[in-house]
Amino acid sequence: MKSALSKLTLMAVTAVLSLGSAMAQEATIRKNLSERLPNLPKIDEVSKTPMNGLFEIRMGNEVMYSDAEGHFLIQGALIDVRQRRNLTEERMDKLSAIPFDQLPLKNAFTQVRGNGKRKLAVFADPNCGFCKRFEKDLQKLDNVTIYHFLYPILGEDSRTKSKNIWCAKDKAKVWNDWMISGTLPPTLHCDASAIEAIVAFGQKNRITGTPLLLFADGSRVPGAVPMAQVEKILADIK
Q: Of 7-21, 25-39, 170-184, which one has max mean pLDDT?
A: 170-184
pLDDT for position 19: 44
pLDDT band (50, 70, 90) for residue 12:
very low
Please write the tens of the pLDDT for every residue from 62-71: 899 999 999 9
pLDDT band (50, 70, 90) for residue 93:
confident
Nearest Cα to 46, choosing from 219, 32, 36?
32
Fold of 100-236: Glutaredoxin (3.40.30)
> pTM score > 0.85 for this model?
no
pLDDT for position 238: 74
Handedness of CA 79, 90, 133, 137 (dihedral sign): positive
Compute the distance between CA of residue 2 and CA of residue 12 in angstroms, rounded to an integer: 15
Delimit the domains of the chain by residue range. Answer: 2-96, 100-236
Determine the average pLDDT of the residues in 166-181.
97
Least confident of 64-68, 97-101, 107-111, 136-140: 97-101
pLDDT for position 13: 44
pLDDT for position 16: 41
Residues 6+ apart with CB under 8 A from 85: 79
pLDDT band (50, 70, 90) for residue 1:
low
2-96 and 100-236, same CATH topology? no
Determine the average pLDDT of the residues in 19-42.
83
The pLDDT of residue 137 is above 70:
yes
**CATH code at 2-96:** 3.10.450.70
pLDDT band (50, 70, 90) for residue 15:
very low
